[in-house]
Every structure is written in C-alpha cells, then in structure tokens.
Structure 1
Amino acid sequence: MQASDLLVACLEREGVEYVFGVPGEELEDLLFSLRASDITFVPTRHEQGAAFMADVHGRLTGNAGVCVATLGPGATNLVTGVADATLDKAPLVAITGQGGLERLHKESHQAIDVVDMLEPITKWNAQISDPDVIHESVRKAFKVAEYEKPGATHLEFPEDVAAEVTDAAPLPTRDRVRRPDPDVPSVDRLLELLDAAERPLLIAGNGAVRTDASQPLRDLVELTDYPVAATYMGKGAVSDADARSLLTLDSGDHQEASEAIKAADLVVTIGYDIAEHDPAGWNPRAATTIVHVDSEPAEVYERYNPDLEIVADLGATLRAVRDRCAEVDASGDTDWYRDLREHIVDDVTADPGPDDPFTVAGTLPYLREAMADDDVLISDVGSHKMRIAQNFPTYEPNTCIISNGLATMGIAVPGGVAADLATEANVVAATGDGGFLMNAAEIDTATRLNCGFTILVFNDDDYGLISEKQREHTGEQFGTELTNPDLVAFAESFGVEAHRPGNWDDLQSVLDDVVPSPEMALVEIPLGTVAQ
C-alpha cells in the first residue's frame, strides 16, 4: 500500500479516533489517507490548539492523543503543547510533515531540523526515512508515549516517503509495559515506618490519578484514617468529601495542608512529581521522613531525599500495603488533623456576601454545585488556577484537569474540545482573559464539531497572577495590564450563547442553566465588580 495509507492503518490499529491538526502541503498524502479511514481529522485554528487537544485527550483517556502539523512554522507551533504533555505526563503522539529527503541536506524553504528541535521535550522521536519501517515506528511511538511515565513522542514524515509504496503491515498492539509488583522487603520497611509514626500523612500526586492507584489508595485511607493531601494534578485521587482529605497542597493564603505536612512525622508520596510541586514548600528544612512510591526513582534533591523508595506498580504497591495494614490494627489518630480539615472545608464552601465583588473563590462554590461529581473541569493557567486548585473540591479522579508540570496558558478552550469529545460528562473550561484569548479561535473548532461545553472567563483585564507576584515583591506592578474586546459579543459572533451576570444571584442562575446544557455557552465574570 502507499506509505501514508500504512501510517493511517497503523493509527487505526492503535485505536485512534481523532487526529487534531492544521493542514499543510507536505501533509497532502497523509490527509487524503485519513479521509479514507475511520479516523476523524479535526482541522484546528492553530497547531498549539491541536497539541493541547491531543494532550488533554491523553490525560483523560490514558490513550495517546494525536496531533499533526506541517514542516517549519507548523512544527514550531506544536512545541508548547508537546512540552506540556511531557512535563504533565500525558501520552501524546505528534506527527509532522517534512520536505522531500532530497533537499534536507541543504538550506531550503521552511526546512528546519524538527527532530533535533523536539528532542529535549519528547520521550522519543524520529524521522521516518524508509516506508518499510513505518509500522515499527508508529508502534514504538505509541508504546513509549503510553507506558509509565507517559509523555510525548514524535514522528517526522517527509512528503516523498509518504508517497512511496511498501509491503509492510501494521503491527498488532500489545498490553502496555507494566512495572513489577513491589518487593517484599520494601513493603516490610514501609510497614515498620508506618507503625512507628504517630502522625503519618499521604500525598497523592499525578501518578495516583493516572494509574489504577486511586481505588486502592481510597481503600488504604478508609482502613487507616491517614490524612491525604493532593497535588494540583492529583486532585480527585481521594474524594475531597472524605473526612481524611486535606484537599490540595497549597501556597499563598491557604497554608493548612502544608501545616499538616510539616506536623507529620512521616510523609508517603504516591505518584509525586517534583516538577509539579517543589517540596521546599512543605519540607523547608529537609527534615521530614519521606517514603517515595512511584513508577520511577525520585529525583536527587536536597529537599526531597526519601528514606525509602518503592519503585513499582503504584496500584499493586498500595494494595500490598492495604492488605498488610488490614492484618493488624493500623487505624491512625485523626485528632491531630481534624481542625485543619474543618478550617479548609469552611474556607472553600463559604458563599460570598450579596454585595461582595466577583471573585474566583466566591464563584467556585456555585460552580461546584452546578457540576455533577463526574463532570470535568479544565483549568487554564493564571491566578484563577491557584484558586481552583486550592478551593474547588474534587470527588473523582481525572475530573479536574490542571496543567502544573509546564503550567501552560491557553490550554482551557482546546482542552474543552478534547474533553467534550472524550467524555459523556458535562465539561467546563475555566480560564482568565489572558489565557482565553491565546486560543479563543478554537471556539470555531468546537462549534464546527457541535461540541457542547461551558467556557468560564474570569476577566480582570490583566495578567493577574504576575501582577499578584509583582505586588508581593515590590508593592507595584508593571507590564501586565490588558485590554479586551466585548467577550459576550465575541462569543456570540461564533453563534455561542453568552452571559455577563450582574450579581451573584444572576451568576448562580446562569451556571445552573448552562453547565448541564448540551449547548456551547460562555460566561464572562468581571472580577472586582458586582452590580447593585
């Protein structure tokens, strides 16, 4: 078959449903091969949007999302989304077109070394220079992208190779590579540490959500009464409705979870990535006894130097610890963290006063009430992300999607598209005005696909998180102020229902109406204002 047909047949064998991307001349054969397949090609308005869609698809499903772009500027526009997938541990396969092999040895139009460019931000990437290796290359790209810890891979597909003919056929898929069960001496040592500890505490990281670790973690917490705090990307591994949940590792105004960690005499981290949260915030003196449970060894860092590392399958490790704890009376003391838990819950559930100005924190209780437990919230990056991470109770794994490895602005709207395609649940994309306008054009993609989700825009005409940091450091701000179009009119120009509520009652009513609706909607919340 033609080489481009083989590549698409390999994608079908991998179970790919959607390919997100921007067309280009060098992708011509690939695009027509996609047209003849069962895969839906989704033309996006920007390659970054395509990469974010593939990124969030991978986060939500565990199966690699696929994005495509042409050579040169198409490939460079993918970089941010590809890097986000790698640092956020989301499986993604990027495919880029390239000029013919006969011109790549010299300077030529739009030609840059894309493979070298993507090398630092992918787990594996390669050029397909021979059509007879397409089946192996695609299988490897998906295998590497999806096994723990997942991330991005990349294949470059020159246009002349795409047009060649090959006798190769797609390779069969296989079960994913699985980490081994934990070794018995390591589990014995962990049980000894837990038995000796008076105030043990668990930290649930991204890996606890990404793997099958959530249920055995919940079982362990139920059995032992150990408190658990989640990272931003570990939200929902244990339900925040559980009396043992301390919600999220915090910073800024909310310090209760960090105070609990500092008071603990043993911290067990589960699927924790220090790229997401610097341990210096909760282990400032490097004096905490730490057990690291993950699929990879811990990074070498003074503030995170575990006394014990268990490198194994997370679910199997937690089940082994749970079973051993069930054999003895492993129930812990809840008095030492109960008041902290109550203070956290009181803070995140407090309703604003009727005359209070609009705030992100004040909005979240209304949003939580409008969303079902298994609805999905996609958060962009900005000052609102910090409030969502700390104040939005999350009850199920993978229902609050936050980028906190690369922490990338602009992910919410394209992420909403991917989430709407990947799940039957209602989806809300929460963003600030800064991140919103970075990829707001993907509203066109959403309406073209008949997506139905809610975009929540917190508008302060500013890069608010940077302003906050500048004022903390210097007492003033500079270079952060923005001007915005009429966001309601902007959304309506795409045929999207749009609202700008004038007070808290209006906001609650709007959220109750639009969040469960199958139609697209945008709600602008002008921060710092409320009509009387």
Structure 2
Amino acid sequence: MKASDLFVKALENEGVEYIFGIPGEENLDLLESLRESNIKLILTRHEQAAGFMAATYGRLTGKVGVCLATLGPGATNFATSAAYAQLGGMPMLMITGQKPIKKSKQGRFQIIDIVNMMKPMTKYSKQVVNGNNIPSMVREAFKIATTERPGAALIELPEDIAAEECDFNIYPVQSFKYPKADQEAILEAVKMIEKAKRPLLLVGAGANRTRIGNALTNFVNESGIPFFSTQMGKGVIDENHKLCLSTAALSKDDFIHCAIDRADLIINVGHDVIEKPPFFMENDENAKKVIHVNFFPSEVDDTYFPQLDVVGDIASNVDNLRRAISTQEHWEFDYYKRMTEEIKTHLQKYFGDTRFPILPQKAVRTIRTLLDDEDIVTLDNGVYKIWFARNYRCAKPNTLLLDNALATMGAGLPSGMAAKMVNPDKKVVSVCGDGGFMMNSQELETSVRLGLDLTVIILNDNAYGMIKWKQTGMGFDTYGLDLGNPDFVKYAESYGASGHRPTSCEEFEETLEKCVNGKGVHVIDLAVDYSLNHSILNELLAKKECLI
C-alpha cells in the first residue's frame, strides 16, 4: 500500500470526518488518497482559518480536528492556530508536507524546520521518515492530542515518504479512563469545605467535558454552595441557576469580586493558569484557600498556589465529594445571595438603552433574546468579549465559544463556520470586531461555497477598540489605532453573502431575527459605541458598600 493511502486509512480509523486546509504540491499523493476516501476536504482561503476550524471542531466534539498545509509558508501559517488549540485545550492534528528527505534537487528552497518550530506550541511534533511508522504515529498523535490537557499535534509527511510502498498495519483505537483521586485527598477536601464559613465553587474551562456538568449540577443542588465560572467555563452549569453568581470577566475589581473576596475557600474545578485569572490569590495565612480539582496537578505561579490538589477524573471526584460532604449550619451564604441580586441589577442596567450606535450590552441582550439555549455564538477577540462574558447567560455548555487563553483575533468567523458544520440544526452567530473580522474575512467565500446558514455580526468602531480602551484607561493619548474599513455590505455581497447595515437598535433586532431564521450567509455591519466602557466598569468604585 502507498504510504499516503495508509495515512488516510489511519485517519479513517480514528473517525476523521473533515480535513480543513490548503494542499500544496508536496501533499499531492495525500490529496489523491483523500479523493477516494470518505473524509471530506474543506478547502479554505488561509491555513490559519483552517487551523481555527479544526481546533473548534475538536472543542465541540472532543475528537481531534484535522487540518492540512504544505511546507514552508503554508505550515508557518498554522503557528497561531496551533497556539490557539494548545492553550485553549482543543484537540487538533496538523498535517504538513515537506520536500523529499532522501534526495533533493531544490536545495533549501522553502524548507523550514517546521517540526522543531512547532514543538513549543504542541504536545507532539514529528516527521515521518518511514511509511511503515505512519499507523503508530497517527494513533500516538490522536491519543496525545485528546488526553488531558487536550491540545495540538503535528505530523510532517515528506513528499517522497508519501509515495513509497509500505505494509498495511492499523492500530485499534482504545478508550482511556482517568483514575480517581486518592481517598485521603477527597477526605481532606471535604474537611476543608465543611470547616469553611463561606465556600464558593469555581467552574473552569477544564470542567467542560462529558459527565462533568451533571456532576457539578448535582453537587451544587445537594450542597447548596453557590458558584461562578471563568469565561471558558460558562454554561457547564446552567447560568440561570439560582445559585449562580456570574462570570469572572475580569481578574479583579468587578462586582463578582465582592463575593469572591468574601469567600474563605474556593473549590476550583477545571481551571488552570493558562486561562486568564478569574481572581488573584494572596500569599497570606489569613487569605482565602483554594482546592484544585482537575485531571492534572496544579501549576504554581504568583496568582495561583492551591493548598490542596484533588487529581484525577473530575466527574468521579466531584461525585465523591458530593457524597461525602454534609451541609453545615455555620455556612453563611446570605451575602452571596445579596450579591447575586446586585450583580443582576448591575448587568441589566443598559439592556433597555436604545441609543445608536449601539451599546455592547444592548447588542448582547438582543442576541441572547433571539437565540434558543442550544444555539451557538462564537466570538473573535476584542473588548466586547468582556460584555459577552458578563451579560450572555449560557444554559448549555459550548453555546458561547470565546477564547480566554491565547485570546487571538481572527478566529471568530472560522470558529463559527466549524460550529455550524458540527451543529447544522442550530442557529450560529459569529460576533467579530471590525479588526478581527478583516484578519480572516476571506473565509466568507468558504462559508458561501459550503452552503452554510451563518450570521456574522461585525461590531464596527473603525478602530482596534480593545487596545484603544486600554490606551485611554492608562492615561495615554489615543494614537495609532484607528482604521479605515471597507463597505462591509458591498464586501459581503461581493462574496455572494447578504449584507445589512441597521441604523437603529430596533432595526438591528428586526434584521438579526430575519438573518438567524433565514438561509445563507448574512453579514450585519453594526455600529457600536464603546464610550461608556470605563464608566460602566468603574461603577463598582462608587459602590463600596457592596464590600461591607
């Protein structure tokens, strides 16, 4: 069997449905092998977008998303996607080509050491030097990419190796089960929780796995301990739950931090230091204590140094904690209940504001109102991400896909495309800033070509708004961050999509309702007003009584 055929058979054995990417001449044997397989090639307009789509496929399914590029410049375009998957805990495999390694007639033309370049950004990065090694390498890459913490892998397939003859030998896919925590760790955690006066549960990105959501919901219901989430932990437990405080959209000085600061123990489930901190620990014997509940031990840094690690299968460990804990009469949750109402009042303050350009809070509210609990919103990266994290209540996991790990621009549209492919029966809305949208806007053509029903909202302020906000907040004069955008309506139409430009909040709501319930790709150019960012986020400073 030809090595490229064997490679495709190994991918089929892993259940691969799609390969996202752009082939080059070094991939032609593999491309021919794919042509006769049941794997569908999704041709994109940029390798970075292909990587974002593969990573999002992995995030949503728990299976490895696969993407393809040629050597050199095609492979280097995967760098940001690799970091996106690696930091975000998304299982992904990159397949890249290379010039012949046994004999070359082109010197060093286009040759970059991609394998070593990718090692710091992946869990696995290797070159195939013998076609007979392909089955074991593919199995190993898939296993490593999916085990906790999930992440990126790379296999480089040189042109001459892809064409050589080799033996057929496919390895069976074996499931992997994580061990449970030691009973002593469970009992020590129970002792700390029962001794605490104001325990609080934190739900992080690593808790967004099969079974864990149910285990955590049962834990909250039976213990009565209130909870909050990190940005990437939203929806693991229904955020409409009466014991849900909110999301830690900032690291400090937000209303939710009034409650976090009052806690004397945080039960931290599924969070690690890769995601932006939801709060800062203090190295003081009187400061709050933290129990780290995760698949792997905690990593210590200046913001995070837990007093206890409960390591192993999270769902099983949470269930064991739930069974062992007894509710305590000395637990004090009244303050959390008051803060829950305070936070809700604060977050709803601008929901009814009809000024235009639209406030981000009003935009979030409109989108939330028009989508069902199962529908999906994907975000690019910008200041609006804070408002979605704070204001968009998620009833289900993976219904608000934001990136709080690499926090890269350019991923919003590709992740929306992948979300729609994985969930064709759900409405999908991709929200991008004008800066981030233009970084992969060419994928509108891919969306149209694939026949996706997708709505893209561009929050347009003609600037790199997040950095401008930081710039003014730090006392600098505004400089170097204003943009000149194309006519987004005509731009969308040039790709065969439908373009819209509402001129009022009412018109935006009417337009969005038609788009999400219609067919095809729709682009909404929505003028946004970020001028109140500082005053809204500083409202806490004027309400110090909440700390009493």
State TM-score, norm by structure 1: 0.95
- Residues of 2 paired with 1:518 and 1:314: CA distance? 40
Give distance in 1, aligned partners of 2:308 and 2:33: 51
Q: Please report the RMSD computed on the Cα atoms of aligned residues, expressed in angstroms.
A: 1.9
Q: Which residue of 1 aligns with 2:281?
A: 283
Give the equivalent residue in structure 2 for 1:444. 445
Letter in 2 for 1:364: V
Q: Secondary structure at the match of 2:451?
A: coil
- For 1:171 and 1:490, locate their aligned partners in 2 and report how far apart those are by CA, in whole Å: 48
1:71 shift after superposition = 0.3
Q: Equivalent residues in 2 for 1:209-228 (5 A)?
A: 209-228=208-227
Preserved contact between residue 228 and residue 246 of structure 2 (Cα < 8 Å): yes
Label 1:490 to 1:399 Cα distance change in 2 as closer, same or farther (>3 A).
Answer: same
Amino acid at match of 1:241: N
Report whether the alignment pairs 1:302 with 2:318: no
Q: State the Cα distance separating 1:328 from its structure 2 match.
A: 5.7
Q: Distance in 1 between matches of 2:450 and 2:245?
A: 39
Tell me, in whole angstroms, the C-alpha distance in 1 between the residues paired with 2:104 and 2:360.
51
Matched residue type, 1:111 = I
| Deviation for aligned residue 1:364 | 0.7
How far residue 107 of structure 1 moved from its aligned partner, in angstroms, is: 4.8
Aligned to 1:433: 434
Q: Secondary structure at the match of 2:197?
A: coil
Task: Return the offset for 1:331.
Answer: 9.8
Residues 119-138 of structure 1 mapped to structure 2, 5 A cutoff: 119-138=119-138
Match of 1:193 in 2: 192
Where 2:486 maps in the other structure, the secondary structure is: coil
Displacement after TM superposition at 1:253 (Å) = 9.4
Of residues 185-194 and 102-111 in structure 1, the stretch that sits farther from structure 2 once superposed is 102-111
Q: Deviations over 1:112-142 (max 9, x none)?
A: 1110000100001100010000000000110
Contact kept, 8 Å, 1:235 with 1:247, in 2: the verdict is no
Provide the identity percentage.
Answer: 37
Q: Which shifted more, 431-440 or 476-485? A: 476-485
How is 1:55-454 mapped onto 2 (pairs within 5 angstroms)?
55-103=55-103, 107-175=107-175, 177-251=176-250, 255-278=254-277, 281-284=279-282, 287-325=287-325, 332-350=331-349, 351-355=351-355, 357-423=357-423, 424-454=425-455
Measured in 2, the distance between the counterparts of 1:24 and 1:356 equals: 47
Could you tell me which amino acid in structure 1 is paired with residue 281 of structure 2?
N
Residue correspondences, number: 527
C-alpha change, 1:224 and 1:9, in structure 2 (3 Å) is same
Taking the aligned partners of 1:335 and 1:72, their CA distance within structure 2 comes to 60
244-253 or 301-310: bigger deviation: 244-253
Moved more, 118-127 or 346-355: 346-355
Residues 180, 123 of structure 1: alpha-carbon distance in 2 compared, 3 angstrom cutoff: same
Cα deviation for residue 522 of structure 1 reads: 1.2
Structure 1 segments, 4+ long, off by >6 Å, are: none
Task: Show structure 1 runs of 5+ residues with no match.
Answer: none
- CA 1:229–1:430: 2 relative to 1, 3 Å: same
Distance 1:384 1:129, change over 3 A: same
Per-residue Cα deviation, 1:26-53 (whole angstroms, up to 9, x for no partner): 0000111111000000110000000000
Give a deviation string over 1:198-230, Cα, whole Å, max 9, x none.
110111100111353111101111112211111
In structure 2, how many angstroms separate the alpha carbons of the residues matched to 1:468 and 1:252?
16
CA–CA separation in structure 1 for the residues paired with 2:70 and 2:89: 24
Comparing 256-265 with 82-91, which one deviates more in the overlay? Answer: 256-265
Deviations 1:480-529 (A, max 9, x none): 11110001111111221221111111111122222233432111111139
Partner Cα separation in structure 2 for residue 518 and residue 324 of structure 1: 51
**Equivalent residue number for residue 42 of structure 1:** 42
Give the gaps of 5 or more residues in structure 2: 531-548
Residue type of the alignment partner of 2:184: P
Give the equivalent residue in structure 1 for 2:525.
524
Residues 455 and 523, structure 2, Cα contact 8 Å, conserved in 1: yes
- The AA in structure 2 aligned to 1:290 is V
User: Which residue identity is paired with 2:93?
Assistant: V
Distance 1:328 1:391, change over 3 A: closer
**3-state SS of paired residue (1:210):** coil
Which residue of structure 2 lines up, in the alignment, with residue 470 of structure 1? 471
Shift of 1:289: 0.5
